[in-house]
Amino acid sequence: MQLEDIKGLGPKTINLLRRLGINDYNDLITYYPYRYDVIKKTDVVNGEKVVIDGVLESLPTVTYLRNHKDKMSFKLNTGDHLFNVVIFNRGFLKSKLSVGTSITVIGKYEKNMIVASDIKFKLIGDETRIEPIYHVTTGINSSQLNNIIINAINDDIIDYVPDYLNKKYDFKKKLYLIKKKKKNKKIKLKENHYFSGTVASPENTMTVELGGHKLSFDVRGFFQSNLFVFEKVCRLITSLLPGGKNILDMYSGCGSISAFLTEKYENVVLVEHNRDAIVFAEQNLTGTKHVSYGLSGAAWVKTCAATLPPFDAVTIDPPRSGMEKEVCQWLCASKIPLILSLSCDPATHARDCAHLIKAGYNLKQMYLLDFYPNTSHIESLCVLELEQ
C-alpha cells in the first residue's frame, strides 16, 4: 500500500514522511521509536526538569526571531505559584491558548522561569505516561508521527488478516456482533451478576494454538492480542522457573500462562475473580493437575491461602491497577522462594515490587516487553527471589 492510499495523509505530510525514509505502508508501521520518555508530575527545583499542570493566567505573546524562529511567552498559574513560561518555535499554538486554558508544561526551571520544551493539552495529573520518541524532521513531531502510525494500523487492521483465518474464525461476523451489541441497548444476554467479564457462548468463543497449547477464550473478554510476543513471553517464563510440585498463577484469566506452567509443575493453582474466564481455564487445562478458584485475589487470600500446601513459585499478572493490597501483603509475608511478576503498567509494577523488595526479595532480572510496537505502552516482567 502506498502512502497516498492511507486515509488522512495529504501531500505535505507525505513529503515529510518521505524525508524520514518512509515511502509506503510497511515503512510506516515498522518505523520504531529510538527511545521512550516517562512523563510524570515533578516538584519544582531550580535547574531541574519540571513537569507541571497549570492554567494560563495571561494571553501568550509571540516574538518573531531570525531564520523563521519564534519565542512564545505566557504566565502559568499552578494554584500555589505563578510562573513565567517561555517556549521556542511553538508560535503556531497561540490560537489554541487563551486565559483559563489548562495545560501541562514540560521544561527546565530556572529563577522563576520555565523554559519549556513541550506543551500538552491533556493534563498529566497523577498519571505516569510513557511516550515514544522518534527521529523526526522539521514540520512533524513525535506525537503527530505516532498518531499517523496508529491511525494507519487501525484503518487497515482487518485487511491484513489472512483470508484463511477470516474464513476459519469469521472475524468480520464477530466484529459485527460486538458492534451491534454496543449500538442496540435492547439486546439482552445472559449475564453473571456477581462477576464481570465474558459469558461462555459458542458464538463468541475463539480458539488459538500457542506453543503447542490450544487456548479458548471469549472475544469480548481479555486475551493478549500480540500472539507472537505472548508465546515468547510464556516460553521465557517457563525457562526462568526451575520446576517443582506446586505453583500459584494469580490473576490467571483463561489459564493461558497456566497451560505452560503445567509443563514444569505437578500442580497449578489458578486464582481469577472472573468466573466466566475460569470456565475457559478449566477447558484449556483439561487433562492436567490443577485447582481453580473463582475469587478475587483479596478473597482468596482471606479464605483459602492458608489451607493450601506451600508454593514453590508464583506467577502474577494483575490488571493495570496492580496487585490488590491484600495480595501484595500476603506475598510479602509468604516466604515463597520465587516470584515472577508480569505487569502492563510500569508505575504500579514499580510500586508492588518495591513492597516485595522491602520484604526481603531481590530483583534478579527485569525484562521490558514491547507487546504494542509504535505505541506508548510497554509491559514488564520482574524475577524476584527471596533472600536466603
Kind plus residue range of the DSSP H or E element containing 247? strand 244-250
Domains annotated on the chain, with CATH: 3-37+130-156 (1.10.150), 42-127 (2.40.50.140), 161-190 (no CATH), 202-386 (3.40.50.150)
Q: What confidence tens digit (pLDDT) does each residue in 176-218 have?
A: 455 555 444 443 433 333 333 444 566 778 889 999 999 988 8
Environment class of 85 (CB within 10 Å of its CB; exposed 0-12, middle 13-18, buried 19+): buried
Check: pTM over 0.85? Answer yes or no.
no
Q: Give, rounded to a whole angstrom, the gap between the first and last alpha carbons of the chain.
A: 57
Classify the C-alpha dihedral 30-31-32-38 as positive or negative: negative
User: Strand ranges (DSSP E) for 175-282?
Assistant: 205-210, 213-218, 244-250, 265-271
At 263-278, the pLDDT tens digits run 999 999 999 988 788 8
Which of 224, 220, 208 lies closest to 284, judged by CA? 208
User: Does residue 89 carry a pLDDT above 50?
Assistant: yes
Amino acid letter at 16?
Answer: L
Asked whether residue 97 carries a pLDDT value surpassing 50, the answer given is yes
Closest CA to 268 of 282, 279, 72: 282
Q: What's the CA gap between 57 and 54, in Å, rounded?
A: 9
In the structure grid, which three cell numbers stand for residue 173, read together? 461476523
In this predicted model, which residue has the larger pLDDT, 166 or 262?
262
Q: Which residue has the higher pLDDT, 280 or 161?
A: 280
pLDDT tens sequence across 102-144: 999 999 998 889 999 889 888 888 888 888 888 888 888 888 8
Q: Which residue bears the cell 510497554? A: 378
Residue 242: all three cell numbers together: 526451575
CA nearest 353: which of 316, 319, 388?
316
| DSSP code per residue over 60-93 | -EEEE-STT-EEEEEEEE-SS-EEEEEEES-GGG
| Stated length of the chain | 388
